[in-house]
Amino acid sequence: MTKKVAFTAMDHGTQADYDLVCKHDARNAAQQADRVLEWLQQMDGDSPYQISRLDHCLQTATRAERDGADDETIACALLHDIGDILAPANHSQVAAALLQPYVSEKNHWIVKHHGLFQGYFWFEYINEDPNAREALKGHEYYDACVDFCARWDQVSFDPNYDSHSLQHFEPLVRELFAKKSAGFY
């Protein structure tokens, strides 16, 4: 049985209580890569696309790798749609929140906004403005997000593309989540 804190309200906690919480959180953080890899595997199911959502992520990461992107960017390309598991309506923001403690400001911004930027290619079909991303024009990472979507994301729905396997990218995922995060809040 797991040891429990003594308090029932956080303002009644002691140093010993919060030492216990921090120890638990550290164990939980150490398992983050395993959970993320499991979430990716859950994306290997039915999809309206010609490939699964996992295959889309693998294609996106493979394209980034073949273009010479750095390891962090390749990992972000792999994980850019991981938010689909928890929140399809705002998957970009969920993926960005997951990655924020572990990635650069630039990669965080790209993942956070890629859904809006992808709208350039399809928003007209749902009566939305395909140029909605223009509201962010002038941001220092705007062009990088345009490139991410144009070169890697929007073209990665091809059933004939020779993508790397999830096992190929597993070391990048493990390395990314092994970094010391910025904190628990």
State the sign of the Cα–Cα–Cα–Cα dihedral 109, 111, 116, 121: positive
- Of the pLDDT bands very low, low, confident and very high (cuts 50, 70, 90), residue 16 is very high
Locate the domains of the chain by residue range.
12-178
- Of the pLDDT bands very low, low, confident and very high (cuts 50, 70, 90), residue 120 is very high
pLDDT digits (tens, 9 = 90+) for 159-179: 999 999 999 999 999 999 998
**pLDDT greater than 90 at residue 180:** no
Two tokens, residue 25? 């959180």
Report how far apart, in Å, the C-alpha atoms of 173 and of each of 66, 128, 182 are. 17, 34, 17
Residue in 135, 133, 140 with CA at minimum distance from that of residue 115: 133
Give the single-character DSSP code of 181: P
> What is the rounded (10 degree) CA torsion for 165, 172, 141, 157?
10
pLDDT digits (tens, 9 = 90+) for 126-149: 999 999 999 999 999 999 999 999
Domain 12-178 has CATH 1.10.3210.10: yes
- H helices of 45-131, in order, are 53-66, 71-79, 91-99, 105-118
- Of the pLDDT bands very low, low, confident and very high (cuts 50, 70, 90), residue 62 is very high
